[in-house]
Amino acid sequence: MRAVAHTYFEPRQLVDAALAERRHFRPGKRWEYSNTNYVLLGLIVQRVTGRPVAEVLHRRIIEPLGLDDTYWPREGEQRIRGPHPRGYLADAPGAPWVDITRLDPSLGWAAGQLVSTPADLGRFMEALLGGELLPPAQLRAMKRTVRAPGFDARPGWRYGLGVARHRLPCDTVGWGHGGDIQGFETRNLVTPDGRWAVVAVTGLPTSMAMLADVSDAVADLVCAS
């Protein structure tokens, strides 16, 4: 991933790269997570609204919720604005960690280009699952889930329309959706009664055990609150 850390990608390049691969299964046959689907959704947003997806996100989500530390990087922008931690990447388990804080996030585009903070992520999840952003019918549709094997390091997750649910050790349901990019990973959960937790790590995990540790930390924080 370091080889393309400073490469700028147009969203249609990302879609073209995916379409050049063999499909894994016929549509509707089973579930599999796909960043490409979110890139396609971003292109649909732009086609429907006639405006850049960054502007739509700012107008409909970032500004109304007061997410002052969340932004969509400008084209070609590689440095994180304001005070921030440094991110590190190892090419394989046991390999040396390399500082990769400065990178071009266009590889994620609508699947993960936003820059944010744990506090803003928690506020967003609280607002989304609390009904502040969507009408009730749309939120209900978003929360209709299917089995999602392989979604996270721990089994038992179910996936809806952009959010996932998991039964926590304290016998409550947690809703969330993490994010990964070179150097950084986040995991978050919010419960029906409004408790939430976000964990951000500054070294992208290189093993399933490391992934499980991050997910477990979020669940423990929610259950302890």
Q: Which pLDDT tens digit goes with each residue over 21-33?
A: 999 999 889 999 9
- Give pLDDT, residue 141: 97
CATH number of domain containing 137: 3.40.710.10
User: Given a cut of 70, is residue 98 above it in pLDDT?
Assistant: yes
Residue 83 domain flag = no
Enclosing domain of residue 159 = 2-78+88-224
Residue 214 lies in a domain: yes
On the question of pLDDT at 48 being above 70, the answer is: yes
pLDDT digits 0-9 by tens, 124-176: 999 999 999 999 999 999 999 999 999 999 999 999 999 999 999 999 999 99
* pTM for the structure as a whole: 0.93
Q: Is residue 169 part of a domain?
A: yes
C-alpha span between 124 and 133 (Å, rounded): 9
Is 25 part of any domain?
yes
C-alpha to C-alpha distance for 184 and 209, rounded to whole angstroms: 16
Judge whether 158 lies within some domain. Answer: yes
Distances (CA, A) of 157 to 97, 104, 175, 177, 207: 30, 31, 10, 11, 19
Domain count, the chain: 1
Residue 190 falls within a domain, yes or no? yes
